[in-house]
Amino acid sequence: MAIYSMGIDAGGPSIKGALVDIEEGRIVGEVQTTEVPPRATVEMIGEAVAKLTESCGADADTPVGVGFPAPVVRGHIPFIAHLSPLWVGMNAAEFFGQYLGRPVSILNDADAAGLAELTYSDTINDNQTVIFLILSSGVGSALFADGKLFPNTELGHMRLSENIMDAELWVAPAVRVSENLSIEEWAERLRLYLYSLEELFNPDVFIIGGGVSEYYEEFSTLLSTRATIIPATLRDEAGIVGAARYAYDMRTS
């Protein structure tokens, strides 16, 4: 009998959710999506997550996990870049639990996506050091060593030089669009960013996820690192799958 868990990815301009078959790491049914305005209030996010959970048909016993676009430390939000500053200091796990009327497990959205890739991909060995990157409107990151997650790395906010104080403001795909960069110009920025990460962490593998994984072949030959570079296999579903897996693991641990 299949084991289901509910995963919600709140890390982008829209909030996505679905039931997930935990044994296979597979979305069950259709992914439900709700748009949120750029200046969405805390309450609007809570309502959207509650409606998604209901529309996906998650029953009262189904674990629910939320991938959230900020560091999550024991359920609390210490810092946030892309949503209302009113989240800072909140216990987001308790907040979502009140809206859903059930326990909710919450983790950083990039950590959720990376967890899915490492759990359900057969291309990564447990003894490797892996940096997973979400490249989209910003840059999210997840760091794994020997199969264990080191949470809340926020490597998208790394300082690259005196002139580049925040890496994602230089290398995010959204910046490529806003600055009208060619694929070659943007890939050179990404190459230098990966080089900086490699100097600090010496990973075995970089996994490139987020929206750019859909056209990875267009720029993959322009990148070069000592580490192996591979595209994410779960693509945009990784955050949902990882949040669901995390909720299941927290329920059964």
**Residue-wise burial string across 11-32, b where 16 or more C-beta atoms lie within 10 A, e elsewhere:** bbeebbbbbbebeebebbeebb
Mean pLDDT of the chain: 93
What is residue 27's predicted lDDT score, i.e. its pLDDT?
96
- The residues that bridge with 68 in the sheet, in sequence order, are 108
- The domains found in the chain, sorted by start residue, are 4-111+237-247 (3.30.420.40), 122-233 (3.30.420.40)
Q: Strand pairing of 228-231 and 205-209?
A: parallel
pLDDT grade, residue 28 (50/70/90)? Answer: very high
CA 138, distance to chain mean position in Å, is 11
Q: At what angle do helices 109-120 and 238-252 cross, to 10 degrees?
A: 80
- The predicted model gives 213-236 an average pLDDT of 92
Contact 143, 130 (CB under 8 A): yes
> First CA to last CA across the chain, in angstroms?
20
Q: What is this structure's pTM?
A: 0.94
pLDDT of residue 141: 97
Report the share of the chain in percent with pLDDT over 90: 79
pLDDT digits (tens, 9 = 90+) for 149-189: 999 999 999 998 888 889 999 999 999 999 999 999 999 99
**Banded pLDDT at 110 (limits 50, 70, 90):** very high
Residue 82: is its pLDDT beyond 90? no
Distances from the Cα of 249 to the Cα of 3, 74, 115, angstroms: 12, 15, 11
The 10s digit of each residue's pLDDT in 118-133 is 999 887 877 899 999 9
Question: What is the C-alpha to C-alpha distance for residues 128 and 203, in angstroms, rounded to an integer?
Answer: 8
Identify the pLDDT of residue 119.
94
Residue 134 corresponds to which amino acid? I
| pLDDT number for residue 236 | 82
Give the pLDDT mean for 97-117. 95
Output the pLDDT for position 174. Answer: 92
- Are 12 and 35 spatial neighbours (Cβ–Cβ below 8 Å)? no
Mean pLDDT of 69-96: 93
